[in-house]
Amino acid sequence: MTLLDFFRKKQARKKLQKSLPRKVVSSAEAPMAERADVTSGERVGATSKERVGEEKPKETQVGFSKSASVVLLKPHTTEKTSWLAERGVYSFRVSPRATKQVLRQAVEELYKVNVEKVGIIYIPSRKRRLGRIIGRRPGYKKAIITLKKGQKIEFV
């Protein structure tokens, strides 16, 4: 079972890495031999020039973001978070590999707001018991997003 879990996690990492925006070093910044794709470490040669001039998808829809759907899993709604939402503080369950910078960018793209502060909390897994059977409730990563004054996020 451990081997299968390893491959599932590997597939999830690849999916997350593909969805995050790539930063490519241009020829003006570095010689041809040293140019590399920062996220995957691949060499960027003459055949991949289209990646350098790659256009982002058109944002015709309000709240369109390719990477935000992978980074932000779902809003974390409790009585406390609904009370905090009135004060401009929102919480989300997020991907375990997400960083504060990626979370800030994802929320700003998806909800068209300005983020003031991002905090991250790791919720550990816990033992749960049903009769003689002992199991574990999985842990997760939670982000606390503070917006600038006067802005709010509407959840449908």
Average pLDDT across the chain, whole number: 78
Q: What are phi and psi of 76, to 5 degrees?
A: -95, 105
Instruction: Please give the model's pTM, rounded to 2 decimal places.
Output: 0.57
DSSP reduced 3-state for 109: helix
What percent of the chain clears pLDDT 70, i.e. is strictly above it? 66
- Domain check: are 104 and 69 in the same one? yes
Q: What is the dihedral of CA 146, 38, 13, 3, to 10 degrees?
A: -140
Q: Do 76 and 133 belong to one domain?
A: yes
Q: Are residues 79 and 126 in the same domain?
A: yes
* DSSP per-residue letters across 44-102: --GGGHHHHTPPPPP--STT--TTHHHHEEEE---HHHHHHHTTTEEEEEE-TT--HHH
Residue 6 lies in a domain: no
Whether 50 and 125 map to the same domain: the answer is: no
- CA 37/CA 103 separation, integer angstroms: 21
Which range of residues forms the domain containing residue 126?
Answer: 63-151
Given CA atoms 136, 124, 99, 101 in this order, what sign does their dihedral have? positive
User: How many whole angstroms separate alpha carbon 78 and alpha carbon 62?
Assistant: 26
**Does a structural domain hold residue 108?**
yes
CA proximity to 120, closest of 153, 95, 138, 85:
95
3-state secondary structure of 10: helix
Per-residue pLDDT for 15 more than 80?
no
Domain count, the chain: 2
Give pLDDT tens digits for 36-75: 444 444 444 545 444 555 555 554 445 666 778 899 999 9
Same domain for 67 and 52: no
DSSP 15: H
80 located within any domain: yes
Structural contact between residues 143 and 91, judged by C-beta atoms closer than 8 angstroms: yes
Query: Is 76 in the same domain as 96?
Result: yes
Look at residue 156 and tell me if it is in a domain.
no
